Amino acid sequence: MVSKNILRDIIVSNEEFILKHINKIVERKGLLFPQTLNKSVVLYGVRRSGKTFILFNLFKSNRERALYVDFEDERLLGFGLKDFEELKDVMLEMKPDLVEEELVFLLDEVQNIEGWERFCRRAVERENIRVFVSGSSSKMMPSEIQTELRGRSWSVEVFPFSFREYLRAEDIDTTDKNLLYGPRKAILKKYFSEYMKWGGFPEVSLLKSDLEKTKLIKEYFSAMYFRDLVERYNIRNIPLLESLTDKLFSSFSLKFSLNAFYKQNKDRFPFSKDLLFRYYRHFLQSMLVFEVKKFAESTYTRMRNPAKVYLVDTGLCRRITSADAGRLLENIAFLELRRRGYEVFYFEEERECDFIARTDEDRLFPVQVCFELNEENMEREIGGLIQACRWLNINDGTILTYGDEKDLRIDGINIEVHPVWKWLLQHRSAQ
Ligand SMILES: Nc1ncnc2c1ncn2[C@@H]1O[C@H](COP(=O)(O)OP(=O)(O)OP(=O)(O)O)[C@@H](O)[C@H]1O
Ligand SMILES: [Mg+2]
């Protein structure tokens, strides 16, 4: 139980803080929120990706009827499920003219309140409250949300800045039609190579000096490593965790086989296969690492083949030499496909294609990524894409590169070759 006075204090001080101290908020326009459906919106995603700032921005645009509460606030110790009702009462006492109006509740780190799902359900079904919740923990992942809220929540995965958002952070007008052409193209390419190198964590993007960026990324990584892995899962076998980290963070855009890892390391230090599988799962739960499975009809084939791994941000990729640029592009393309809400697989039969993406409407499309198309790889890259198209019975495929751009028609298949940075800016959503 928390007293009304404290709740009032918190509401007022948060309002003041957001309105007075949070000045520059880069709009996250690509996020898909439900417009009319009565659903609670659940924001989840890796730490520092900007979830709290999305709530701040929602507060700014709904300020007359919104409240923001952070359940990590120590003054809220002892807040229980019943206190949500008090929160509403306090708000209406402060703003009585809202009694008949829709309210907007922005609840941060809400996983700290046992049973929060029940409140959300009631709020959207009966109380005329729009609810947006967020939290840093894997407890907010769709698979973890309590059954009470299943079907009544709308989960939105938050990633670090997309390239478009990154440009917006640099005050570039991304709606400018001429951006992709003429002299501005060179500036855009310069920004893109920065984006490849540093990734899109918002705070990192906004820093100016390379030294500070490096330092902040290191800090992020170690905070996530210790808090979201070691402490959270009570990890004891540190040599195993360290080797696995090293391997995963240098294997971005590559296949990763747990069995091979086991064989390579089992004589170096003691660990069981079960433990290895468990630690790997924790990486996925931390949302630092994603896996992409092989495209196959049967679940059995999908599970039996090793997955490819991608990192949540290219700023975290390790051992970058110029030879890894193609893999960085691939990682960026993966993240963008996920931002657009697609399910992603890789294709591998006699030939390979990096991605098969599946849209919400079940449309499939293959995407191949390579640094450039040249004499050496042309046959392989195009051949893989064509085989994927045939397999899916479709006539269009995409190849993403650093700088090549052309339209090809080969064996009845239309192939669009785009520079990744252009493709990132051309999608209809998130203008
Ligand atoms: N849209 C944005 N515009 C400007 N800066 C941002 C934006 N989003 C995030 N930031 C910067 O990145 C920092 C981290 O963002 P934020 O606190 O919103 O992340 P989070 O996902 O809530 O992290 P955590 O999971 O640790 O709570 C902010 O303090 C701010 O400096
Ligand atoms: Mg936060």
At 197-226, the pLDDT tens digits run: 999 999 999 999 999 999 999 999 999 999
Read off the DSSP letter of residue 257. Answer: -
Q: Per-residue pLDDT averaged across 11-37, rounded?
A: 89
pLDDT at 155 over 70: yes
Read off the DSSP letter of residue 127. Answer: S
Ligand 2 centre from 105 Cα, in Å?
Answer: 15
Q: Is the CB of 366 under 6 A from ligand 1?
A: no
Q: Is the CB of 286 under 6 A from ligand 1?
A: no
Ligand 1 centre from 135 Cα, in Å?
Answer: 12
Task: Determine the pLDDT at residue 182.
Answer: 79
Local confidence band at 430 (pLDDT 50, 70, 90 cut-offs): very low
Task: Determine the pLDDT at residue 31.
Answer: 86
- Range from 70-74, 173-177, 251-255, 270-274 carrying the lowest mean pLDDT: 173-177
The Cα–Cα gap between 256 and 10 comes to 47
Q: What is the mean pLDDT of the chain?
A: 93
- Max intra-chain CA distance, the chain: 73
Task: Determine the pLDDT at residue 32.
Answer: 82
pLDDT digits (tens, 9 = 90+) for 312-329: 999 999 877 877 899 999
Q: Is the CB of 136 under 6 A from ligand 1?
A: yes
Q: What is the number of other CB atoms lying within 10 angstroms of the CB of residue 37?
A: 10
Q: What are phi and psi of 394, to 5 degrees?
A: -130, 160
Q: Which of 22, 25, 48 to mutate to test the pocket of ligand 1 (most atoms within 8 A of CB)?
A: 48
The Cα–Cα gap between 247 and 106 comes to 38
Ligand 1 centre from 52 Cα, in Å?
Answer: 6
pLDDT at 419 over 90: yes
Minimum CA distance residue for ligand 1 atom 16: 50
Which of 74, 130, 75 is CA-nearest to residue 107? 130
Task: Determine the pLDDT at residue 132.
Answer: 96
Given a contact cutoff of 8 angstroms between Cβ atoms, the answer to whether 103 and 68 are in contact is: no
Given a contact cutoff of 8 angstroms between Cβ atoms, the answer to whether 329 and 354 are in contact is: no
Instruction: Match domain 4-158 to its CATH number in 1.10.10.10, 1.10.287.3510, 3.30.530.20, 3.40.50.300.
Output: 3.40.50.300
The Cα–Cα gap between 359 and 367 comes to 13
Ligand 2 centre from 133 Cα, in Å?
Answer: 10
End-to-end CA distance of the chain: 45
pLDDT at 431 over 50: no
Report pTM.
0.95
Task: Determine the pLDDT at residue 363.
Answer: 94
Task: Determine the pLDDT at residue 319.
Answer: 72
pLDDT at 301 over 80: no
Given a contact cutoff of 8 angstroms between Cβ atoms, the answer to whether 403 and 423 are in contact is: no
Task: Determine the pLDDT at residue 428.
Answer: 59
What residue segments make up the domains of the chain, in order of their start? 4-158, 238-426
Above pLDDT 70, what percent of the chain?
Answer: 99
